[in-house]
Chains A and B, each alone.
Chain A
Amino acid sequence: MFDNLSLLGLVPMLNLQLLLDGLLIGSVFALAAYGLALVWGVMNIKNLAQGDFVIMGGYITFTLSQPPINLHPILSIPIIFVLMFVFGWGLYHTIIKRVIERDLFTSLLATFGLAIVIQQLINLAYGPDVQTADAGMEIREFFGGEITIADTKLVSFLLALVVGLLITFFMKKSRMGRAIRATSQDARAARIMGVDTDRVYAFTFSLNAAICGVAGVLISIIWVIQPFFGITHSIRSFVIVTSAGFGNLIGVILSALGLGAVEQFSGFIFGAEFQQATVVGLLVGVLIIRQIMQSRQRQVVQ
């Protein structure tokens, strides 16, 4: 551990490299996290199948990139957006609709069950082997090879940014966006004002699935996918949303980028086995801090 710290001190470029690695991958985390913030904030559904939607998007990308279709992964993004949107719509009307008014545990259990079903279906269809989709992009070197950045990561970063901006714009300017915001503030009031909240819910959930699908495309070209890897993406989304709060896109993006960087640094300093442990550790830390902050606020209210 101290060796690794001193290495970071000796080779300052490494810090920059790890920071870049973290920020670039963090942007992909931001997508799934923003989707979660949406469903959590608007529908009060804590979707435990979030990561599995991501993996599903990855597997569709993989399928489309194979013969006979041979579609370039980046070009498959619109298709996956639409497919996952339809999937989310179907899922809302079959399952989510029935648990949305119930208590916390019903929705947790339902989405947890959903996660298991998705994992096993992917496992049945593709087997437990890891898969990747190849975007066949360049790898750039800077400072005489001290810093390397794969174009796939840069493109993912930009795409995540574009999708994020589009969603923000959509939420601010469109009629549906306004309806979503109104529903999240007060569903009953929105209903009285003539908002079809059922449609809003269905749309929100589908939008979330679609965003996750896009994140899956990016994950499949940057990392590797496997039927059971969804859970780590779910956990990341939860950590990000709990620390940023919902309805705060800038906060979600910032904490996603931060999480990406923290993961890379902790993996470097403490070893790969602590890379994911840090994420969970952070969740605990964030919850404790939030609790303290809240109890302070409550005292003021009292």
Chain B
Amino acid sequence: MQSLCNKLYFAGLVLVIALALSLPVQAKVVGNKIILGSAISFTGKYSSNGIHASNGYNLGIKRVNEMGGVKVGGKTYLLEVKYYDDESTPARGAQLAERLIKQDGIKYFLGPYSSGLTKAIAPVTEKYKIPMVEAEGASRSLFTQGYKYLFAVLSTSEQYLASAVALAAEVNKENGKSPGDVKVAMAFENDPFSLDVRAGVVDDIKKHGLKIVVDDKLPRDLSDMTPTLRKAKALKADLLVVSGHSKGAATAGRQVIEMKVNVPMIAVTHCESAKLIKKFGSGVNGFLCPTQWAETLTYSGRHFGTAAEYDALFKASFDGYKNVPYQAAQASAAVLVWAEAFESADSFDTEALRDAIAATDMKTFYGNIRFSVAGNNIAKPMVLRQIQNGKLNVVAPSKWASHPVQWPR
């Protein structure tokens, strides 16, 4: 008798679990809540940036809800995010995306952190025709696949240093040098990200008609770039462009000082993560550093007001931030895109929402947002900051600049 009872109990349990697994929970809209989903890196190598991004999402959601949520079909809804930790591994990210869609019934996605994870998740959301607004995947290759449901609020990697080329052309023209005489020395690491950056730089050099005099690829274990810099110096380059993650920035910083490389304009990616100012002090004055966003920009929008107001609100909302990372700002902007899309589509239908996102044209504290057919944001330029007396000041594009560019550096 006892054993029969146990068996029945067990069978019942199996039945319940099977039912629970087979029925997709309709969780996309529960009561007055719209549930967005995201797999994000809370642990693993991207965890620090993953947490910045999720803080950004949370602040965006909080703000939208404080302002009364979104109105769909005459009724007000609040936003909420369901997170899973992707452990910074692409395979896990793709699994979790599948789980969010099939088990949790999520129909609206916010992106993960990093290009690699976005690359892993995009095919899944594409397969189920689920729109995803991402804020942290900058690789150009994300937008050459013909994805229809992927939208990115940030500038893509080939734009990182392109504005430096435009600035060099502009400044040299003002000083009476024709574009054909403006010599560019380039040093890029041989990895996907840096080569994306390089592709953008080369395109812009062609566009402005400048001349490439040095085109070196830096090795992965980069600790010496003396020969490259000697060449740039000997050829009297007018612009030196270096991209090789933080080691490239640090090596360039050290050796430009040590070799007195007197190139009038130097642009380097990863200035912040290489801690150039802290390491080399006044020696790196005049270096140009690209960034997605800066709190000193004069952007403003409906939800957060100006960039500076967002900065203050973020610091007040989360402990331990001296500077607001742009990773957080762009995550908040992605939430705003969703909020706008729900209101303008006035529907929960994913197709209608996709079209509404594609038609987005809005001003935010993070910059303007308008998507190309490929899905990347083409309304926000990359911002160039220059190291001036130990501070990073925005110098380009001139429309939003807070300080004039120091040239020659």
Contacts and interface: CB of A to CB of B under 8 A. Distances in A.
B223 A223 contact: yes
B226 A273 contact: no
Interface string A205-232: 0000000000000010011111011011
A229 B235 CA distance: 30
22 contacts: A14-B230, A18-B227, A21-B230, A131-B250, A132-B279, A139-B257, A219-B223, A222-B258, A224-B250, A224-B251, A224-B254, A225-B223, A226-B223, A229-B221, A231-B221, A264-B227, A267-B224, A271-B216, A272-B219, A272-B225, A276-B221, A277-B219
Q: Chain B at the A interface: mostly helix, strand, loop or mixed?
A: mixed
A72 to B, nearest CB: 16
A271 B217 contact: yes
Most A CB contacts (10 A, CB to CB) among B187, B221, B228 go to B221
A294 interface: no
B231 interface: yes
B260 A14 contact: no
Nearest to B228: A272
B223 A224 contact: yes
B224 to A, nearest CB: 6
Given A152-B258, A268-B231, A224 B218 contact: no
Contact of B260 (A11, A25, A139, A272): A139
A175 to B, nearest CB: 39
Most B CB contacts (10 A, CB to CB) among A134, A268, A272 go to A272
Contacts of B274: 129-130
A266 B262 CA distance: 23
Given A7-B235, A132-B250, 5 more contacts: A14-B234, A145-B262, A223-B223, A268-B231, A276-B219
Interface string A103-125: 00000000000000000000000
A140 B254 CA distance: 15
B227 A275 contact: yes
B247 interface: yes
Interface string A224-244: 111011011000000000000
A196 interface: no
Most B CB contacts (10 A, CB to CB) among A130, A225, A264, A271 go to A130
A145 B226 CA distance: 16
A150 interface: yes
List the 5 closest pairs (A to B, CB-CB), nearest first. A267-B227, A268-B227, A273-B217, A272-B216, A130-B250
B217 A145 contact: no
A187 to B, nearest CB: 36
B259 interface: yes
A275 to B, nearest CB: 7
Nearest to B247: A130
Contacts of A231: 221
Nearest to B281: A134
B95 interface: no
Contacts of A273: 190, 216-219
A76 interface: no
Nearest to A133: B279
Interface of A: 4, 7, 11, 14, 17-18, 21, 25, 129-132, 134, 139, 141, 145, 148, 150, 152-153, 219, 222-226, 228-229, 231-232, 263-268, 271-273, 275-277
Q: How large is the interface on B (under 10, 10 to 19, 20 to 34, 35 or more residues)?
A: 20 to 34
Contacts of B350: none
B389 interface: no
B279 A21 contact: no
B405 to A, nearest CB: 24
B26 interface: no
B246 interface: yes
Contacts of A228: 221
A265 B234 CA distance: 14
A21 B250 contact: no
B91 to A, nearest CB: 22
Interface in B244-295: 246-247, 250-251, 254, 257-260, 262, 273-275, 279-280
B269 to A, nearest CB: 14
Contacts of A219: 223
Contacts of B259: 139, 148, 150
Contacts of B187: 272
Nearest to A150: B258
Contacts of A275: 219, 224, 227
Contacts of B254: 132, 223-224
B274 to A, nearest CB: 7
B246 A130 contact: yes
Most B CB contacts (10 A, CB to CB) among A7, A273, A277 go to A273
Interface in B274-329: 274-275, 279-280
Contacts of A152: 258
Contacts of B247: 130, 224, 226
Contacts of A148: 258-260
Contacts of B280: 134
Contacts of B250: 130-132, 224
B195 to A, nearest CB: 12
Contacts of A226: 221, 223, 247
A48 to B, nearest CB: 15
B329 to A, nearest CB: 23
Interface in B99-134: none
Most B CB contacts (10 A, CB to CB) among A18, A222, A223, A264 go to A223
Interface string B22-66: 000000000000000000000000000000000000000000000
B214 to A, nearest CB: 9
A267 B226 contact: yes
Contacts of A18: 227, 230
B347 to A, nearest CB: 46
Interface string B206-224: 0000000001111101111
A271 B227 CA distance: 8
Contact of B227 (A222, A224, A225, A272): A272
A264 B221 contact: no
B235 to A, nearest CB: 7
A264 B226 contact: yes
A25 B231 CA distance: 18
Contacts of B251: 130, 223-224
